[in-house]
Amino acid sequence: MEYVNPEGLRLDGRRPMEMRQLRAEIGVISKADGSAVFEMGNTKVIAAVYGPREVQNRSQQLNDQALVRCEYSMANFSTGDRMRKPKGDRRSTEISLVIRQTMEACILTHLMPRSQIDIFVQVLQADGGTRSACINAATLALADAGIPMRDLVTSCSSGFLNGTPLLDLNYLEDSAGGADVTVGILPKLDKVTLLQMDAKLQMDTFENVMQLAIEGCKAVASYIREILLENTKQLESRRGI
């Protein structure tokens, strides 16, 4: 299968180094403390943050930091075939864990001892890169909830097909069987908080692919910052004196 044609275009018309269209919206769930929708092309993810609030299960309470919990799910209508997905299957448990660990790394949990932060992310439409979209949505939702963070975590995936590193794989490219590298970074601190790959890659190819993903993360970060700043300004101006 040809994923990059000789003219240098991918199946959806992007070039190898191009991302899909990003769109983000903050505050989509009025009941939640923080919420956001994040879209990367046709991948659409909604995230809601509740907390910091009283720990529900007292035995899990931590006396020096906040407890972060995350639940990932996929809407039944998110994929082409409407399948009833069992809750808590291996994949979503794994992604929940990944998102939780990634977000935990940036939340200043020690400022909110004896409390719990719940992050719920749901994939509304899946078209590859759901992991990244979930992390980006969660970051936005956390920022919206006013939870102190070291830095914004942003994530982006990249892959390697037809001997070319490709940024931000869509479902078609993702299911091609090539490597799929998901990277999460703290753009300000320039640190990697998440790195996943489900295939083998040569070391120096891998470095190229990862570098590309990092570039993608940075692009996502600048977009997210723009959205957040706009949102903050709007809130402040609306509020009045």
Interface positions, 189-228, toward another protein (CB under 8 A): 189, 199-205, 225, 228
Is position 7 an interface residue for another protein (rule: CB under 8 A)?
yes
Q: Which of 16, 129, 178, 184 binds another protein (CB under 8 A)?
A: 178
Is position 96 an interface residue for another protein (rule: CB under 8 A)?
no
Nearer to another protein, 93 or 222 (CB): 222
Q: What is the 3-state secondary structure (H, E, C) of 123-144?
A: EEECCCCHHHHHHHHHHHHHHH
Q: Which of 56, 76, 110, 177 binds another protein (CB under 8 A)?
A: 177
Is position 172 an interface residue for another protein (rule: CB under 8 A)?
yes
Nearer to another protein, 88 or 226 (CB): 226
CA 117 → CA 1, 35, 66, 93, 100, distances in Å?
A: 44, 13, 7, 18, 10
Query: Please, are residues 124 and 41 in contact by the beta-carbon 8 Å criterion?
Result: no
Residue 19 contacts by C-beta under 8 Å, 6 or more apart in sequence?
40, 156, 167, 168, 216, 219, 220
> Could you tell me the smallest distance in angstroms from the CB atom of residue 95 to another protein?
22
Nearer to another protein, 39 or 71 (CB): 39
Is position 170 an interface residue for another protein (rule: CB under 8 A)?
yes
Segment contacting another protein by CB under 8 A, of 20-28, 68-76, 85-93, 97-105: 20-28
Segment contacting another protein by CB under 8 A, of 92-100, 130-138, 177-185, 211-219: 177-185
Is position 53 an interface residue for another protein (rule: CB under 8 A)?
yes
Spell out, one character per residue from 131 to 160, where the chain touches another protein: x when CB under 8 A holds, - when not: ------------xxxxxxxxxx-------x
Query: Please, are residues 181 and 136 in contact by the beta-carbon 8 Å criterion?
Result: no
Instruction: Please name the amino acid found at residue 114.
Output: R
Hey, what's the torsion of the CAs at 87, 90, 92, 93, to 10 degrees? 100
Rounded-to-integer distance, Cα 97 and Cα 71, Å: 8
Is position 175 an interface residue for another protein (rule: CB under 8 A)?
no
Of 133, 129, 154, 170, the closest CA to residue 12 belongs to 170
Rounded-to-integer distance, Cα 121 and Cα 115, Å: 20
Is position 13 an interface residue for another protein (rule: CB under 8 A)?
yes
